[in-house]
Chains A and B, each alone.
Chain A
Amino acid sequence: MNWTLALPEIALACAGLVILLVGVIPGRNTFFGCTMAVIGALLLAAVLVLGQPEGTALGGLYVADAFSGFMKILALLGAALGLVLALDFNRRESLDRFEFPVLALFATTGMMVMVSANDLMAVYMGLELLSLPLYVIAAFDRDNGRSAEAGLKYFVLGALASGLLLYGVSLVYGFAGTTNFDRLADVFSGNGGVPAGVVVGLVFVVAGLIFKVSAVPFHMWTPDVYEGAPTPVTAFFAAAPKVAAVALLARVLLGPFGDLAAQWQQVIILASLGSMLLGAFAAVGQRNIKRLMAYSSIGHVGYALMGLAVVSDEGLRGLAIYMLIYMLMNIGTFAILVGMRRRGRAVERIEDLAGLGGTDLGRALWMTVFMFSMAGIPPLAGFFGKLYVFLAAVQGGFWTLAVVGVLTSVVSAYYYLRIVKVMFFDEAPAEGGLDATTPGLAAVTATTGIFNLVFCLYPAPLLLAAGLAAAALLG
């Protein structure tokens, strides 16, 4: 039993238990200390992931390779930054209970289990360990009706998705006789036909996973949950879990079902097309900026799935790069959204940003950077994210995907640029500009903003890491 390979997960889970114990014993509020400890534990886990050898362990349930390493670092980074965003916001909205960072930590453990899953059972357990804390933190502002609604809606629909996934898994197990990824790949690599039951099961598994990445047609929970949940929770949702779910989708489809690409490719292409179109057109009429970000995230998942749909080395590398850039620009944008307060009250309408260019030029400029990056305007990082997936689609001959991708980018540029226009050219409302931001938020904004600006200067190491990750999965 080679359990030391799973050291990052084990260390993170044990740290979670210790922090839970240490947080609950003192009678006073330990939110700040616990959050710092959790961020420390996440960074420790990231260091352990960097030093992790490759291989399978724990009876073939766990796999560590370059792909899992890359995605785990992303997820850990996203979770840590997401917690930084919550520090000040939760204190002001009196949501500063120490369970918040602990739940986020367990969710992150679930993400790591998902990314490293080498068995359909491990996939399900990881997914549940991710989802359950997310349901709770969506409803964390329990006295707020919208937050409770978000949590309940997410829970009910998430349970439905888990049911779909389990149904698919049981069909696959019934027809293939195993749940282990390596063995499944062996079963399907034979040139005999695949039983219809496996294909049906595969579609159900894909449906369950697509729900988690919130791609069309399983996106309907996203706007409501993103709008209702407290803003730092929304930032957390949009970053780390999405990376983990996309990574899991890629691993499941390219690992055990790699030889059935012809069966699942149309599904992913349709999901990608639908997400890009919905993300572009449904966001246009939004007035609430969190809702707008929800549709924007659906669109971005559509672009990322394009990298998966082409089933090639370039495509997968594009997907990995896309998730990295998407996560960082999303965290940066949310660092500004979390800090949107007027006279101490949190505001979340697009009009509330009006006149920010006059009252707080620095923040307005960073927001402009993020919006341009989201829209995919060179030379910002967002452009390169789109470039690599479009390139892969063109090389693979998927012209429809590439053309729809470019056109929807143009449409979505409208609503990103509208925010810039509101900030610089609209009059500030009579009650004054937004309150000053906090040092933590400013630091996150600046770090992610600088990344978006300088990515074009020296992308080689990240491209190389993404290339290695892609090669590990397809290899």
Chain B
Amino acid sequence: MITAAAFYIFAFVLIAAATMVVTSRNPVHSVLFLILAFFNAAALMLIAGAEFLAMILVIVYVGAVAVLFLFVVMMLDIDFARLREGFQRYLPIGGVVGLILLLELALVIGTWTTATEASDLRLAPNPGGGVSNTKALGQILYTDYVYLFQIAGLVLLVAMIGAIVLTHRRRPGTKRQDVAAQIARSGSVNLEQVPTGVGIGELGIRRPTLPEAPKPKQVEHADHHGGHH
């Protein structure tokens, strides 16, 4: 009873939040509603017994992906009013396409038959025998398919190397930390007991003169019209 009530509450909030993602005028609000939708979906997964997926959804999607979306939305200066300009004009043809898709979906769902065992499997995410959800996933990912998992890791590594190789450039004038030089630096630094209340100039301690810092490049602002922040 409570489960059912919780399910309907979370499902309702999920759908409402998802609708708001699409309809809200401010893209930042969209992303915030998306986060709300993620939380509710995680709650639904908890009800279904998939606690590992629920946590992953919160950690990965809310913690990383949604924040990334937020950054992207704030960095790209998208003019949503302009994007919506053609809405009225394209409404008829868009509506026809949507209607056809809806009919097709109705046809598919109308002829859908579920296997008799499906209803038993649906709410039994664990293989049974006291194996927890997390352990079952780990068994598949890290034991049965460890070969593919490792190859996937290599693919990601290659993607990272590729991105660095194709875009990274060594600029002249960047200051890098040279650990060896830092450690090897001895003798040039010495501690001195300085009496308080006296300026160091009066004690005869000279500050080393700083090397001339390279001047930042002059950026021409004259031909820069775009951007209104």
Residues of A within 8 A of B (CB): 1, 3, 6, 13, 16-17, 20, 58-59, 61-62, 97, 99, 102-103, 106, 109, 113, 121-122, 125-126, 128-129, 132-133, 135-136, 139-140, 142, 151
Contact = CB atoms under 8 A, between A and B. Distances in A.
B166 A139 contact: yes
B151 to A, nearest CB: 4
A132 B144 CA distance: 25
A103 B147 contact: no
A129 B166 contact: no
Interface stretch (B25-33, B96-104, B152-160): B152-160
Interface string B141-174: 0011111101110110111011011100000000
B162 A59 contact: no
A99 B161 CA distance: 7
Contacts of B147: 3, 6, 58-59, 61-62, 122
The 10 closest A-B pairs by CB, nearest first: A136-B162, A58-B147, A125-B151, A99-B165, A132-B158, A61-B147, A106-B158, A133-B158, A59-B144, A128-B155
A121 B148 CA distance: 8
A13 B166 contact: no
Contacts of B152: 125
Contacts of A106: 154, 157-158, 161
Interface of B: 143-148, 150-152, 154-155, 157-159, 161-162, 164-166
Summarize A's interface: helix, strand, loop or mixed: helix
A103 B165 contact: yes
Given A1-B143, A62-B147, A132 B165 contact: no
B162 A135 contact: yes
A13 B162 contact: no
B146 A58 contact: yes
27 contacts: A1-B143, A6-B147, A17-B157, A58-B146, A59-B144, A59-B145, A59-B147, A61-B145, A61-B147, A61-B148, A99-B161, A99-B164, A102-B161, A103-B158, A103-B162, A103-B165, A106-B158, A106-B161, A121-B145, A122-B151, A125-B151, A125-B152, A125-B155, A132-B159, A132-B162, A136-B161, A139-B166
Contacts of A129: 151, 154-155, 158
Contacts of A59: 144-145, 147
B121 to A, nearest CB: 15
Contacts of A62: 147
A122 B157 CA distance: 18
A61 B150 CA distance: 13
Contacts of B157: 17, 106
Contact of B148 (A1, A17, A125): A125
A16 B150 CA distance: 13
Contacts of B144: 59
Contacts of B146: 1, 58
Given A16-B154, A106-B158, A125-B155, 5 more contacts: A3-B147, A13-B150, A20-B161, A132-B155, A136-B166
A264 B125 CA distance: 39
Contacts of B159: 132
A102 B158 CA distance: 9
A172 B154 CA distance: 26
Contacts of A16: 154
